[in-house]
Amino acid sequence: MSWEPTGDLGHGGECLSMQTMAPDPFEFELFRNALLSVADEMALTVHRTTYSSVLRDNLDYSTGFFDAQGRMIAQGFSLPAHLGSMPTALAAVIQRFGDGIRPGDVFALNDPFDGGMHLPDIFIFQPIFIDGALAAFSGAISHHTDVGGRVAGSNAPDSTEIYQEGVRIPPMRIYDGGRRNDTFFELIRANVRVPEKVAGDLRAQLAACHVAEIAYTDLCRTYGAGKVRQLTDAMLDHSERLARAEIAKLPDGTFAFEDWIDDDGIETGKPILLKVVIDKRGDGIRFDWTGSSPQVKGALNATLSFTKSACYCGLLSVMENTVPNNEGIFRAVEVIAPPGSIVNCVPPAATAARGLTGFRMVDAVFGAFARMVPDKVFAASDGGNTNISIGGYDSDRAPYIFCDFTCCAWGGRPWADGLDGNSNIFANMAGQSAEITEAEQPLMVEAYELLGDRGGAGTFRGGAPYRRTYRFLGDEAVISIRSDRRDIRPYGLYGGYPGEPSMNYIARAGAGPQLFPAKFHGHLRHGDIFIHEVAGAGGWGDPLDRDPARVAKDVRNGFVSPPAARELYGVVFRPEGLAVDTIATEALRARVRETRGWQGVPFVLREQPAGLRDAALHPAAGPGRQNP
């Protein structure tokens, strides 16, 4: 069936607001940057005032600014994963309260089936009134350390329904005409394990929204409320024009890709299909997830808003020029995700670990874009962040929860190696400091190190992941782990090899490390050691085309071992050191090519070609030479 772009070109179906006079370009640019800075100042406010390490160190929060209709005008420098979620959440508030919204109100929600994504992500929205009329909304979303439920951290991958995961907050007033809703705050405190942190983080969100109110009021005082509305409309139209111009540069056509999550932690060994078809026509684009797996028993189910975020992130990443993150770009994009599927779940689906699915949706989107614009897209990254939650009680029965998110390797790029130890592009999150972790938690971080021989081999190598080793110093705790890419490795592109799988180990006191599943929860006791190794990212391009000098450099830096240099890259070093034996290398690479037997460069690789080790150990002799 053919498809034509259907998004509105402006408000009420009219062409981009040309019925009003175009604003002065200098005034427009000054206003645009002033308004964008409001969302950024909100983000800084959360960071400065938060209580928890999840926000302060992991940076798992976002801020946004919206007009009176709920259209997103600006997003702070925070998580791409929240791109599609905040407008959806605010729409739920507006639908629920409509004309009843008044000055002094503040709203909250987290219900995945009523505007939210998963329960730890609590949205706060504050309406802003100018001269008695609703003019805008400020909003902040934060991942809270705990919202109750059966497992400390409220992020268990093996929950099977939403009712096990914590407190559900439908869209509701938490300030009513300026009066604090004490019932709401007391209900939250009574149902979470670390009430001081949760309450402190809620106050940080409230402070950010208040900062936005002050800044926006100042803008209206400077420009006048009518001019502010006009310039805001112009901002959205400008973003739409930029987005459509960038989309028009992309090749027309239909581009499909499939990827799989290992399993949901309940039905182990049963892969979960993510299938996306990108249909691009002119200056519009559609992402169709029809054919993806039905929603699953485990807590990996994603909301439609989260699926939209993955699509927007992938699209923005392949654009040549920067387009602001606001409603303007959304107008040019259509997202189809069948209800009841893992990419658009319905009640009573569990959603706590849906972050993993979002990261893997981004991998699928990039795989489809790699068919469309192969010179712009890197191979699979590490598979998305691993969630590590460790919770218990100290000797005084005071609760503690350690919650960390680890992601650290980009896939090999068509022009450069993947980034080592860098956050996934969908997250923009930081790792927690070992020193702060040790100061605040009953944990000792014994290792925090990049791993060699883990990034997929390629003309451009996949990024190196890292290992973190934690020794538990308390008496007893519950540990919950959400990870993936154990069975289905991060794919390589255009001849690049896949990255190595992730690993979880626990070494009980006095015993050696024991391998644990990718998704599990269990118990730690004093002296136990937990080890997590993130998956390596995929490589891009044939490893046999990699410059041998770059392979030698990787060996010197510990990213590639000498045996891997020979087996995967076909590089032979002289006996006296790391000087490349050029003739022997050429002979070995010819032998490996013959062993692989490729008729053409494969688009995607999820397993390394067979026979590489035998070819490397027993290559054919070069002309006039002994076997190296």
pLDDT, residue 20, reads 52
Q: Are residues 537 and 549 in the same domain?
A: no
Q: Are residues 527 and 588 in the same domain?
A: no
Q: Are residues 477 and 594 in the same domain?
A: no
Q: How crowded is residue 411: how many other Cβ atoms within 10 Å of its Cβ? A: 36
For residue 181, tell me if it sits in a domain: yes
The two three-digit tokens of residue 213, written as one number: 């109110």
Q: Are residues 417 and 565 in the same domain?
A: no
Alpha carbon distance 179, 168 (integer Å): 22
For residue 453, tell me if it sits in a domain: yes
Q: Are residues 536 and 563 in the same domain?
A: no
pLDDT, residue 17, reads 40
For residue 500, tell me if it sits in a domain: yes
Q: Are residues 161 and 223 in the same domain?
A: yes
Final residue of a structural domain among 512, 541, 570:
541
Residue 440 has φ and ψ, to the nearest 5°, of -105, -20
pLDDT, residue 21, reads 65
pLDDT, residue 618, reads 62
Q: What is the rounded radius of gyration, in angstroms, for the C-alpha atoms of the chain?
A: 26
For residue 447, tell me if it sits in a domain: yes
Handedness of CA 413, 418, 424, 428 (dihedral sign): negative
For residue 568, tell me if it sits in a domain: yes
Residue 347, classified by CB atoms within 10 Å of its CB into exposed (0-12), middle (13-18) or buried (19+), is exposed
pTM of the full structure: 0.92
Q: Are residues 582 and 500 in the same domain?
A: no
Tokens 């209206």 sit on residue: 220
Spatial CB neighbours of 43, under 8 Å, sequence gap ≥ 6: 61, 62, 63, 76, 77, 78, 208
Q: Are residues 537 and 597 in the same domain?
A: no
Alpha carbon distance 245, 43 (integer Å): 29
Asked if 35 and 42 touch (Cβ cutoff 8 Å), the reply is: no
pLDDT, residue 577, reads 85
Residue 251 has φ and ψ, to the nearest 5°, of -65, 140
Q: Are residues 84 and 231 in the same domain?
A: yes
For residue 124, tell me if it sits in a domain: yes
Final residue of a structural domain among 218, 240, 262:
240
Q: Print the domain residue range for 559.
A: 543-617
For residue 314, tell me if it sits in a domain: no
Final residue of a structural domain among 240, 257, 274:
240
In the chain, which stretches have pLDDT less than 70? Answer: 1-21, 617-628
Q: Are residues 424 and 489 in the same domain?
A: yes
pLDDT, residue 23, reads 83
Strands (E) across 15-104 are located at 61-67, 72-75
Report the DSSP pairing between strands 284-288 and 272-281. Answer: antiparallel
Alpha carbon distance 244, 140 (integer Å): 28
Alpha carbon distance 457, 542 (integer Å): 8
Q: Are residues 593 and 497 in the same domain?
A: no
pLDDT, residue 5, reads 45
For residue 21, tell me if it sits in a domain: yes
**3-class SS of residue 207:** helix
Q: How many domains does the chain have?
A: 3
Residue 512 has φ and ψ, to the nearest 5°, of -80, 170
Q: Are residues 453 and 577 in the same domain?
A: no
